[in-house]
């Protein structure tokens, strides 16, 4: 089975990593819109337009399904993408919420959602969590985490200062933290050190769990072929993929 994975840039490689690890697909065609990243600061019309253009590009590869790895595009563009595709289109927000539900039996549990400005403003995570009965929700857009991750600063003083800045008003460690941005799984260790005992929800693992439970996808292949495409600086994307997917490609 061949899947298209779309992200605003390199961040979707964290989702790609989970897909490769779980051996669900023979081939992954990845498109990162590196010429126009970030999406998280743009308005809904622009995010939808760019997402539809990415879909048109990926249609050239005869894909069986599309995974929108980008939380921001998942928040705004899913409906339009589905209208324009003849295959299944999955975002990462519903799977992230389901993974949270599977983790937190107690509806009084506290949940911290971390995402881009656009994702947080969309209210998509918050809406779905409220529908599931959770009320104790805080949402935050720690925008500086994105460039910090792209600089490869997965630990150290810069990240620590940024975490102290964004998290200063959070007095109690949340029961779960939704990493609602493709970049944030790369700083899992630092976030876990900061919020000891909190469970972290990772979009990549969540979409795998979702595809396995809701769509009965099973491990099928030993060797996933990964084809990388980008709207700018493909060489940079390849380098990032080599580092982030080190032991997989």
Active-site residue set: 70, 181
Given 11, 91, 95, 96, the residue binding ligand DGL (CB under 6 A): 11
Position closest to ligand DGL via CB: 40
Q: How far is the CB of 143 from ligand DGL (least distance, A)?
A: 8
Question: Which segment (103-111, 120-128, 176-184, 224-232) binds ligand DGL by CB under 6 A?
Answer: 176-184
Is 39 among the residues that bind ligand DGL (CB under 6 A)? yes
Q: Which of 27, 95, 38 is closest to 61 using CA atoms?
A: 27
Is 78 among the residues that bind ligand DGL (CB under 6 A)? no
Q: Which is nearer to ligand DGL, 110 or 119 (CB)?
A: 119
- CA 134 – CA 211 distance, rounded (Å): 24
Show Cβ contacts of residue 229 under 8 Å, excluding neighbours closer than 6 positions. Answer: 29, 30, 31, 32, 57
Whether the Cβ atoms of residue 6 and residue 58 lie closer than 8 Å to each other: yes
Q: Which is nearer to ligand DGL, 22 or 183 (CB)?
A: 183
Q: Which of 34, 92, 103 is closest to 66 using CA atoms?
A: 92
Given 6, 8, 68, 228, the residue binding ligand DGL (CB under 6 A): 8
Size (the chain), residues: 249
Is 146 among the residues that bind ligand DGL (CB under 6 A)? yes
Whether the Cβ atoms of residue 119 and residue 40 lie closer than 8 Å to each other: yes
Site mask for ligand DGL (CB under 6 A), range 108-127, x = bound: --------x--x--------
Whether the Cβ atoms of residue 205 and residue 99 lie closer than 8 Å to each other: yes
- CA 30 – CA 228 distance, rounded (Å): 5
Judged by CB under 6 A, how many residues of this single chain contact ligand DGL?
17
* Token reading at 117: 């400005």
**Residue ranges that bind ligand DGL, judged by CB under 6 A:** 7-9, 11, 37-40, 70-72, 116, 119, 146, 181-183
């Amino acid at each position: 089975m061949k899947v298209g994975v779309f992200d605003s840039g390199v961040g979707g490689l964290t989702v790609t990593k989970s897909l490769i690890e779980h051996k669900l697909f023979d081939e992954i065609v990845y498109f990162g819109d590196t010429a126009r990243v970030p999406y998280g600061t743009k308005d809904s019309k622009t995010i939808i337009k760019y997402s539809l253009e990415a879909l048109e590009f990926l249609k050239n590869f005869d894909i069986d399904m599309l995974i929108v790895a980008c939380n921001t595009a998942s928040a705004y563009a899913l409906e339009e993408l589905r209208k324009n595709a003849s295959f299944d289109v999955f975002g990462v927000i519903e799977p992230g919420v389901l993974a949270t539900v599977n983790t937190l039996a107690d509806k009084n549990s506290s949940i911290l959602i971390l995402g881009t400005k656009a994702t947080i403003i969309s209210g998509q995570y918050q809406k779905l969590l409220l529908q599931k009965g959770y009320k104790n929700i805080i949402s935050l857009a720690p925008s500086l985490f994105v460039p910090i991750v792209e600089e490869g600063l997965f630990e150290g003083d810069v990240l620590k200062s940024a975490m102290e800045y964004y998290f200063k008003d959070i007095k109690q460690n949340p029961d779960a933290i939704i990493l609602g941005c493709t970049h944030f799984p790369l700083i899992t260790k630092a976030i876990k050190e900061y919020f000891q005992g909190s469970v972290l929800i990772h979009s990549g693992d969540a979409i795998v769990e979702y595809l396995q439970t809701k769509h009965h996808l099973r491990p099928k292949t030993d060797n996933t072929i990964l084809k990388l495409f980008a709207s700018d600086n493909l060489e940079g994307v390849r380098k990032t993929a080599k580092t982030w997917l080190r032991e997989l490609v």
